[in-house]
Amino acid sequence: MSDIKDLCELSPAYVRAIAPYQPGKPITELAREFGLDERAIVKLASNENPRGISPKALAAVKAALPELARYPDGFELTQALSQRLGVAMQQIVLGNGSNDVLELAGMAFLAPGCSAVYSQHAFAVYPLATQARGARSIVVPAKNFGHDLEAMLAAIQPDTHVVFIANPNNPTGTMLTAAELESFLSRAPKNVIVVVDEAYNEYLDPALRCPSVKWVGRFPNLIVTRTFSKVYGLAGLRVGYGVCHAQVADLLNRVRQPFNVNNLAIAAAVAALTDEDFVRESYELNVAGMAQLLAGCKRLGLAWIPSYGNFVTVEIPRAGTQSQAGAVFQKLLKLGVIVRPLAGYAMPDHLRVTTGLPQENARFLEALEAALKV
Ligand SMILES: *Cc1c(COP(=O)(O)O)cnc(C)c1O
């Protein structure tokens, strides 16, 4: 009778139990739903770079177009990263976004009967990468919305193969200091892989950045992941990387699709690495945008979680005991402003907003003020 049900049950129960990732609402979708003009929509929902792709990266993409009949070769990007980071090429694993590298860590080190440790309110890909392998999740309660490293250390079990740490974390924006992280790495069991996800590393004040790539030399169980999706402005091309011990990289490469990063992404990433002006200007734009958003929230009497990323998570006051964040999110949509609701992160009273261009931040604050009034 119900053949499709039987078919679906061929899929392991742990796959069927996965709650799908909820992306930020695309501009095109909101335009369709509300009949809005795409150009009038402000999207501050996915921590994208509001300046768009760097001109150098764009030129590189255009120059690479005639080569699209060929399979990609990651050599040039791997070499550029190896020189930039001062590690061997064998220590670098390219990913279709750093999301891919997080999945590769799961594929290479997790299986049914193992567990992964990560924090409450941590990046949504950690539960996905864990559940997709049939491994058990050990979710450690957060401390002031950030990772509680002492509790995470204590939560590691004999069957724990991977610990995921986001620094800074998304969606909370919280940061661990280099001293805290180094202390964790030196005390964590040597036979547990520790993934330190540094998607927002380039948005940190240089004085606050961890020497995480250097630590790879001391901690063979460490995998550092970075991305071109954020400050480099290449979210749509999907390119990121991991840095780790060469033998760990070898394992990740065995489960990696041979051509996981495409020609255009490789060309853009190589060029983006050289575009220091673009990175510096993007960093400065974020500093200014953060100040603008925080001043606006202060004026509106709102509380926020201090953030070290290119976004800030704002608390929407309840009406009595009733959470209002969902309603405010919907009202913002009607006003053409897309932010990110965080109910899926067990933060039903918060909205996450990405720093935008000055006029986008102003539009958001204006819309927020209106949405809070009604
Ligand atoms: C955005 C983000 C990523 C990177 O995603 P990509 O797959 O590289 O686009 C990874 N980790 C965190 C915490 C992020 O917020």
Q: What is the pLDDT of residues 218-268, one digit of tens each?
A: 999 999 999 999 999 999 999 999 999 999 999 999 999 999 999 999 999
Position 21 scores a pLDDT of 84
208, pLDDT greater than 60 = yes
Full residue range of the structural domain in which residue 230 is found: 55-274
> How much is the pTM?
0.96
Position 246 scores a pLDDT of 98
Q: How far is the CA of 249 from the centre of ligand 1 (A)?
A: 19
Q: How far is the CA of 364 from the centre of ligand 1 (A)?
A: 23
Residues 284 and 269 in one domain: no
Establish whether residue 355 lines the binding site of ligand 1, counting it when its CB lies within 6 angstroms of any ligand atom: no
Q: How far is the CA of 372 from the centre of ligand 1 (A)?
A: 30
Nearest protein CA to atom 11 of ligand 1, as residue:
199
Mean per-residue pLDDT over the chain, rounded: 97
20, pLDDT greater than 90 = no
Position 23 scores a pLDDT of 84
Query: With left for phi above 0 and alpha for psi between -120 and 50, is residue 195 left, alpha or beta?
Result: beta
Rounded mean pLDDT, 332-356:
96
Nearest to 308 by CA among 231, 227, 194: 231
Contact 226, 219 (CB under 8 A): no
Unique residue bearing structure tokens 């695309």: 26
Establish whether residue 99 lines the binding site of ligand 1, counting it when its CB lies within 6 angstroms of any ligand atom: yes
Other residues' Cβ atoms within 10 Å of the Cβ of residue 243: 26
Is 15 within the bounds of a domain? Answer: no
Rounded mean pLDDT, 291-305:
98
Packing angle, helices 55-64 and 263-274, rounded to 10: 150
Residues 236 and 364 in one domain: no
- Interval 160-196: pLDDT, tens: 999 999 999 999 999 999 999 999 999 999 999 999 9
Q: How far is the CA of 224 from the centre of ligand 1 (A)?
A: 12
The domain that holds 334 is classified in CATH as 3.90.1150.10
Residues 169 and 102 in one domain: yes
24, pLDDT greater than 90 = no
Atom of ligand 1 nearest to the CA of 239: 8
Nearest to 333 by CA among 19, 43, 17: 43
Nearest to 364 by CA among 47, 42, 46, 52: 42
Other residues' Cβ atoms within 10 Å of the Cβ of residue 17: 9
* Neighbouring residues of 206: CB distance < 8 A, sequence distance ≥ 6: none
Nearest protein CA to atom 10 of ligand 1, as residue:
199
Helices (H) and strands (E) in the chain, counts: 15, 13
Residues 159 and 288 in one domain: no
Q: CA–CA separation, 204 vs 22, rounded Å? A: 26
Q: CA–CA separation, 93 vs 8, rounded Å? A: 33
Residues 82 and 166 in one domain: yes
What share of the chain in percent tops pLDDT 90?
96
The tokens describing 81, both together, are 């990263």
How many independent structural domains does the chain possess? 2
Establish whether residue 229 lines the binding site of ligand 1, counting it when its CB lies within 6 angstroms of any ligand atom: yes
- Interval 28-73: pLDDT, tens: 999 999 999 999 999 999 999 999 999 999 999 999 999 999 999 9
- Residue 1 pLDDT class (50, 70, 90 cuts): low
Q: CA–CA separation, 234 vs 199, rounded Å? A: 12
The tokens describing 82, both together, are 């190896």
Is 10 within the bounds of a domain? Answer: no
Is 17 within the bounds of a domain? Answer: no
Q: How far is the CA of 9 from the centre of ligand 1 (A)?
A: 31
The domain that holds 108 is classified in CATH as 3.40.640.10
CB-count burial class (<10 Å; 0-12, 13-18, 19+) for 138? middle
* Neighbouring residues of 362: CB distance < 8 A, sequence distance ≥ 6: 292
CB-count burial class (<10 Å; 0-12, 13-18, 19+) for 10? exposed
Q: Which residues of 151-183 are buried (b: 16+ CB within 10 A; e: fewer)?
A: ebbebbeeebbbbbbbbbbbbbbbbbebebbbe
